[in-house]
Structure 1
């Protein structure tokens, strides 16, 4: 996993083109005014824009992806994201439509990442994660963009 502020996007110039397209999209000035839903960016790269209230950790399951990495970017608000390494092959048979499998316990020690407005986290296949968790500090609606990059 990578966590950083979008102002440091140039540090990641060595990542594949799909990530360059994702980071360029996340530097747009109008992200806060975009409607919730899907935005196609390029072949194999699209964004899901959402607005929601963060929830306690016990109200969500871990997500696991197989074909796409997530670039999770908080536009407004703040939240915790919990990440835990896992073996994607352990979850492939549980995959739901849309490149996602859910589980309660990935079987490894999790890390907690604090995402605030302007920060992003790149979560790779093989990293189970619980996004959208209350950090106990921010009260309100989080606006978030998750760019999916085919890997």
Structure 2
């Protein structure tokens, strides 16, 4: 798991190959105010532009993915994303291979990241994560989730 500002993406070896693709799309989204939806990019990467309200943690579940890493960029708003190694979580619903998502019990409150506008969180298949959780009450969010293919 990595959490940082987008302009520091160059610091992370595992993200260098995708840095230009991600940053160009972030810039495009800011300039063009792209609507919600899926946008296919290069190198197998796609972006999901999402607008939603944050939610309370109660009843939420951890998730992970096998085929893609998540790079979750905050375009507007602030949210908590809880995370924990999947080795510490119990699977509640495995949607693979039909969908690239596995759900887990809520986990503990050991770790969360507070992501604000301009920041990203990067989650690998080993990182259970619970996004969209309110930080200071329910608020409207705009997020871009970049799906980056897992290398074989």
Normalized against structure 1, the TM-score is what? 0.83
- Aligned partners of 2:104 and 2:117: how far apart in 1? 28
Unaligned runs of 5+ in 1: none
Partner of 2:50: 50
Per-residue CA deviation, residues 88-135 of structure 1 (Å, 9 max, x unaligned), is 9x75x81343310112145x7741100000000100101111000000
Partner of 1:147: 146
**1:14 positional shift:** 5.7
- Aligned partners of 1:47 and 1:128: how far apart in 2? 20
Per-residue CA deviation, residues 32-60 of structure 1 (Å, 9 max, x unaligned), is 71110100011320001100110011132
Asked if residue 104 in structure 1 is aligned to residue 82 in structure 2, the reply is no
The farther-off stretch of 59-68 and 25-34 is 25-34
CA RMSD in angstroms comes to 2.5
Q: Secondary structure at the match of 1:122?
A: strand
Are the equivalent residues in 1 in contact too, given 2:80–2:113 (CA < 8 A)? yes
Normalized against structure 2, the TM-score is what? 0.83
Cα gap change, 1:119 to 1:127, in 2 (>3 Å): same
Cα gap change, 1:29 to 1:43, in 2 (>3 Å): closer
Are the equivalent residues in 1 in contact too, given 2:72–2:122 (CA < 8 A)? yes
Structure-to-structure mapping, 1:59-78, within 5 angstroms: 59-78=59-78
Are the equivalent residues in 2 in contact too, given 1:74–1:145 (CA < 8 A)? yes
Are the equivalent residues in 2 in contact too, given 1:65–1:125 (CA < 8 A)? yes
Aligned residues: 147
Asked if residue 26 in structure 1 is aligned to residue 8 in structure 2, the reply is no
Unaligned runs of 5+ in 2: none
**1:72 positional shift:** 0.4
Asked if residue 82 in structure 1 is aligned to residue 82 in structure 2, the reply is yes
